[in-house]
Amino acid sequence: MVSRRFFIFSGIAAAGGLAIGYALMPLTTLGRARKIAGKDGATMVTAWVRIGTDNSVTVIVPHSEMGQGVHTSLPMMLAEELDADWSLVRMEQAPADKAFANAALAQGFLRGDKTIPSVLAGTADFSFRKIAEVINLQVTGGSTSVRFTGVEGMRRTGAAARAMLIKAAATSWGVPEAEVIAKQSKLSHASGKTATYGEMAAIAASFDAPADVPLKAKKDYTIVGKPIARFDIPPKVDGTAVYGLDLRLPNLSFAVVAASPVFGGTLKSVDAAPAKAMRGVKQVVKLADAVAVVADNTWRAKEALLALKPVWDDGPNATISSQSIFAAMDAALDAGKFKTDHSTGDADAVLKGAKKIIEATYCVPYLAHATMETVNCTAHFENDKLTVWGGFQDGLGARAAAAKFAGISIDDVSLHHTAMGGGFGRRGSTLNYLKHAIGVARQVQGPVQVVFTREEDMTQDNYRHASVSRMKAALDEKGKVTAWLHQFTEKFDPPEATMVNYDFANQASRYVKGLNPIPWGPWRSVDHTQMGFFIETFVDELAYAAGQDPFAFRRAHLGGAPRHKAVLELAAAMAGWETKPAQGRARGIAIRDAFGTIVAQVAEVSLNADGRVRVHQVWSAVDPGEVINPATFVAQIQGGAIYGLTAALYGEITIDKGRVVQRNFPDYEMVRMADAPQHEVRFIESGARTGGAGEPGTAPIAAAVGNALFALTGKRIRELPFKNFDLNTGNRRS
């Protein structure tokens, strides 16, 4: 077994110059990954850089860009340690580079105790899981080349490359290494000697990578922390970015697919004739649970599919509805066969003897991801080898899944990344579109682009789960929480999403699970979406019950959490919490700690005569430990809040007869420009381990808005979305 230290690999890049990779293992922080990784003892994580003889620096990033800026943030970290001239830095997404996929290069590594690469948090949880699966596959395949990256990985790779370049210069010039200065992709010495990194790259490549290299202090940063323009933006303003749906290949067919509208149903039969009679239609493809029409363009396939009347075997789920699902949740909570989530002290006993008990029940519906680009995948079988193209949050995981779906070896699958029109969890581990694409491609000559219409995308998603939460707490006469009991339905990821950072004595959290067959998927901020609403609304209720200001009440319970307290105080200061809002407006506050980033939000709202809410302004105070690219980070917090606000105001997927009712944007409304609040974001860089950017902004917003509504109207809405209520009266709309 390899010792617990890390190795850095170096070698000659294919086109000359220096190539460096760095690997990390094992993963010790994610329970699930730990479990799987435990089987073979190791999870390898690598990041790579190539320095060309032309002085270019190419950072190879094995992660997908979804607009969260990761294709720029990761290279920034590497370039920082390398002391590269940023204008010479390029990004390349793995696995386009063959050297990167070379198993022989990846043989060592090991550095314990690393957490999820922060900029990736959000995709990281399922990426890790998938990578762990790939490891298993590759271990059985005799390969050990598994790639992932990390903050530390990028940084160490950059620092190692810099050390090797310095050594190359020192050797060539006959001067001590300590006298060589590396700056802006140039090496120099007091004697007047200079060279570019590119000129020294080949010599540097002849050295072994150093076993350990010091990293820069934050005060010396020249790239990290600056609002650097993203690499992926120029092609996104002139129409040249190629998303999955934009892929055009010679001899490409287009297929539009319809799966059994009832979850778990199968295809009995379909008369292909009506479609086949239509212009441009090439074939009708039957799959076990779906039917697809293949045509010479997307619209013809779509129209011909509408002409078909597939006969489905609905299976066992055709009678379920949102009503029956919520009734089953209530019954399961009543039955009380709970799994323990976490527990400290004895909440039950304290509640039994308590004088003042507050109770409330909350619920949220299912939610679809509704990525702007509907899910899709292009696939081609040729000589028993499969090629797939598409937007995948986790390319390795998708490749492994493709092999599984196709029943072939992973070595016979190649996967090409396209730009991705939104991820939010939809393009991670839930891959029904990949499965359909492979099923269709099996029966089609040449490459085929398998497209979900918006209707298919919305009705065949993996959904943020609906759930019910029963909260109970005891307050002492000073308004301190002495017991906290949370009983809820369904629990996924991340495990800590149900925790509170308040110093409540005697906490118990329990849940019931596996209550219905609606397919689940990670949805931006995952369990924090509903837990943020449940927990932070209930805390607000406790504040009022204690006769305290909601901000003061929270602060009083954050004694043991100085970072949280500072974030909460900053948000309140930004919002002018102590000042009265304008007539007809009110403010609410909420705080969440999601994916290592703490966000406190204040929302200011008003109501129109029709009882609908207008969110005028949001103030977010954010402590992510460290900010890599502030421009990107602000946009992620704002965008995350919009995503959560859409859920709070409008988001609702309902089930009837085993089917999803909502089919397109007219019945699954989104926050648009006119609804989007002003949103000020400020950071506290506490220096704690770097947290995520994409998801933390989503978690507190529903509670912040709901709490503001209560401050305005005195009516507590305990159920989302708010559109279902006349907020002036608090009554449900009929």
Partner 1 sequence: MVSMTVNGASHAVDVEEGMPLLWVLRDVLNLTGTKYGCGVAACGACTVLVDGVATRSCVFPAASAAGKTITTIEGLKTGGTLHRVQQAWVDAQAPQCGYCQSGQIMAAVALLTEKPKPTDAEIDAAMTNICRCGSYAQIRTAIHAAAKA
Binding site for partner 1 (CB under 8 A): 66-68, 227, 229-230, 232-243, 245-246, 248, 254, 279, 297-300, 302, 370-374, 419-424, 453-454, 631-632, 635-636, 638-643, 664-666, 670-674, 676, 678-679
Alpha carbon of 44 to those of 65, 124, 138, 446, 519: distances in Å? 21, 14, 12, 36, 30
The one of partner 1, ligand FES, none whose footprint includes residue 68, by CB under 5 to 8 A per kind, is: partner 1
The one of ligand FES, partner 1, none whose footprint includes residue 616, by CB under 5 to 8 A per kind, is: none
CB of 252 to partner 1, least distance (A): 10
Burial letters 121-149, b for 16+ CB under 10 A, else e: bbbbbbbbbbbbbbbebbeeeebbbbbbb
**Residue 428 structure tokens:** 């991670």
Helix (H, G, I), strand (E, B) or coil at 48: strand
- Site for ligand FES contains 697 (CB under 6 A): no
Our CB check for partner 1 shows the closer of 241 and 318 to be: 241
CB of 342 to partner 1, least distance (A): 32
- Site for ligand FES contains 677 (CB under 6 A): no
CB of 618 to partner 1, least distance (A): 10
- Contacting ligand FES within 5-34 (CB under 6 A): none
Using CB under 6 A as the binding criterion, the count of chain residues that bind ligand FES stands at 3
CB atoms within 10 A of CB 323: 11
CB of 303 to partner 1, least distance (A): 9
The one of partner 1, ligand FES, none whose footprint includes residue 241, by CB under 5 to 8 A per kind, is: partner 1
CB of 371 to ligand FES, least distance (A): 8
Cβ contact 673:642 at 8 Å: no
CB of 414 to ligand FES, least distance (A): 27
> Among candidates 47, 56, 45, 59, which has minimal Cα distance to 21?
47
The one of ligand FES, partner 1, none whose footprint includes residue 229, by CB under 5 to 8 A per kind, is: partner 1
Cβ contacts of residue 344 below 8 Å, gap of 6+? 505, 506, 507
User: For 518-661, where are the alpha helices, taking DSSP H only?
Assistant: 528-545, 550-556, 562-575, 630-649
- Site for ligand FES contains 244 (CB under 6 A): no
- Contacting ligand FES within 534-563 (CB under 6 A): none
Residues in a beta bridge with 146 = none
The one of partner 1, ligand FES, none whose footprint includes residue 240, by CB under 5 to 8 A per kind, is: partner 1
- Site for ligand FES contains 372 (CB under 6 A): yes
Alpha carbon of 483 to those of 61, 491, 531, 533, 590: distances in Å? 47, 22, 18, 20, 20
Strands across the sheet with 356-364, in order? 339-344, 507-512, 481-489, 467-475, 356-364
CB of 127 to ligand FES, least distance (A): 20
φ, ψ at 593 (rounded to 5°): -120, 100
Our CB check for partner 1 shows the closer of 168 and 368 to be: 368
> Among candidates 326, 292, 321, which has minimal Cα distance to 450?
292
Cβ contacts of residue 315 below 8 Å, gap of 6+? 260, 262, 263, 264, 265, 266
Our CB check for ligand FES shows the closer of 67 and 700 to be: 67
- Site for ligand FES contains 425 (CB under 6 A): no
**Residue 174 structure tokens:** 């006959």
Cβ contact 257:460 at 8 Å: no
Nearest residue to ligand FES on Cβ basis:
372
CB of 660 to ligand FES, least distance (A): 19
CB of 248 to ligand FES, least distance (A): 19
The interface mask with ligand FES, positions 49-78, x = CB under 6 A, is ------------------x-----------
Q: DSSP for 245-294, please give it.
A: GG---TT-EEEEEEE-SSTT-EEEE---HHHHTSTTEEEEEE-SSEEEEE
- Site for ligand FES contains 365 (CB under 6 A): no
For the chain, helix, strand, coil in percent to 5 are 35, 25, 40
Our CB check for ligand FES shows the closer of 149 and 393 to be: 393
Our CB check for partner 1 shows the closer of 87 and 734 to be: 87
CB of 422 to ligand FES, least distance (A): 5
What does the alpha-carbon distance between residue 433 and residue 379 come to, in Å, rounded to a whole number?
11
CB of 236 to ligand FES, least distance (A): 8
Cβ contacts of residue 407 below 8 Å, gap of 6+? none
Our CB check for partner 1 shows the closer of 321 and 617 to be: 617
Q: How many helices (H) and strands (E) does the chain have?
A: 17, 30
Our CB check for partner 1 shows the closer of 253 and 713 to be: 253
Our CB check for ligand FES shows the closer of 422 and 447 to be: 422
The interface mask with ligand FES, positions 193-222, x = CB under 6 A, is ------------------------------
The one of partner 1, ligand FES, none whose footprint includes residue 564, by CB under 5 to 8 A per kind, is: none
- The H or E element that residue 19 is part of is strand 18-24
Residue with token string 């395949």:
141
Cβ contact 51:57 at 8 Å: yes
Our CB check for partner 1 shows the closer of 250 and 584 to be: 250
Considering just the CA atoms, what is the radius of gyration of the chain in Å?
27
CB of 665 to ligand FES, least distance (A): 7
Cβ contact 241:235 at 8 Å: yes
- Site for ligand FES contains 422 (CB under 6 A): yes
Our CB check for partner 1 shows the closer of 306 and 318 to be: 306
CB of 651 to partner 1, least distance (A): 12
What does the alpha-carbon distance between residue 576 and residue 606 come to, in Å, rounded to a whole number?
17
Residue 479: is it exposed, middle or buried by C-beta count within 10 angstroms (0-12/13-18/19+)? middle
Residue ranges binding ligand FES (CB under 6 A):
67, 372, 422
